[in-house]
Amino acid sequence: MAALNGKIALVTGAGRGIGRQVALRLARDGAFIIVHYGASRDRAEAVVAEIEAAGGQGFTAGGDLAEPDAATLLFAAVDAGLQARNRAGIDILVNNAGIGLQRDVTGITPEEFDRVFAINVRAPLFIAQEAARRMGEGGRIINISSIVGENAFGGYFVGYGATKAALNYMTVSMAASLGPRGITVNAVAPGATATEFVGDMMQHAEIVERLKAETALRAIGDPHDIASAVALIASPDSKWITGEVIRASGGAQL
């Protein structure tokens, strides 16, 4: 019996990269998956098709997370999609969607700052708020953070890193608030992971070797590695783990 049979999971930004692998893994573990997308509906529908081809179930729900009412609009689509399939509620939320921004204090603009905080901080907070309203005991909220929220990396991620530090704090605060209801809240913080998110960085051998050398396991992460960590926290066996920021980095910068 799959560990997540009967559970409904919403994964934001699930059309590619880590989000895609998380959606596929939770579906493999038995969950019904809502695949959120921001701009690429085709990619999201391809993920649902892959889930269904493997015997799972799910549907897509779109929404621009930069919009002030993003959470309200997203859950209107989520609720309607579930109702059409005689389902209701959310058991697992994976706040994965986010954008990167490589700027230092001398280069970041107010417009860039506002956008990265809207998508990486405001959206996860209010999506979690809406999800929590629909969750019962045993619910799981999992925020995808980053080790950049803890390390300066030369100061080149002043805005992006600040969003992940904020997400880490929100994780602990949410855990304290929702714990009495039996809902756990944790964050998974990847290190360098081979996805489109990091752009063409993985095409430069010297950068790859430097990143490997800074990691205890001497390797670059794969989206499957992060999905496995998320699946562990989503499982019933994690009921005693809450308020944690779990580094899924292969031991980066120990």
For 1-20, what is each residue's pLDDT tens digit?
A: 589 999 999 999 999 999 99
- Position 201 scores a pLDDT of 61
Residue 254 in domain: no
**CA-wise closest residue to 90 among 58, 61, 133:** 133
- Position 220 scores a pLDDT of 83
Confidence of residue 191 (pLDDT cuts 50, 70, 90): confident
pLDDT digits (tens, 9 = 90+) for 149-177: 787 777 878 999 999 999 999 999 999 99
**CA-wise closest residue to 156 among 116, 210, 102, 120:** 102
Residue 80 in domain: yes
Specify whether 160 is catalytic: yes
Number of domain units in the chain: 1
Residue 191 in domain: yes
CATH of the domain at 58: 3.40.50.720
- Average pLDDT in the 73-77 region? 98
Q: What is the pTM (predicted TM-score) of this model?
A: 0.93
Residue 143 in domain: yes
Confidence of residue 200 (pLDDT cuts 50, 70, 90): low
Residue 253 in domain: no
Residue 35 in domain: yes
Q: What average pLDDT is seen over the chain?
A: 93
- Position 204 scores a pLDDT of 64
DSSP 240: T
Helix, strand, or coil (residue 99): coil
Residue 175 in domain: yes
Q: Which residue has the higher pLDDT, 1 or 210?
A: 210
Domain that residue 125 falls in: 8-248
The pLDDT of residue 198 is above 60 = no
The pLDDT of residue 197 is above 90 = no
Q: Per the residue annotation, which of 37, 156, 160, 169 is the catalytic one?
A: 160
pLDDT digits (tens, 9 = 90+) for 15-59: 999 999 999 999 999 999 999 999 899 999 999 999 999 999 999
Confidence of residue 69 (pLDDT cuts 50, 70, 90): very high
Q: Which residue has the higher pLDDT, 230 or 148?
A: 230
- Average pLDDT in the 207-229 region? 86
Question: 190 near 248, Cβ under 8 Å?
Answer: yes
pLDDT digits (tens, 9 = 90+) for 230-245: 999 999 999 999 999 9
- Position 154 scores a pLDDT of 73
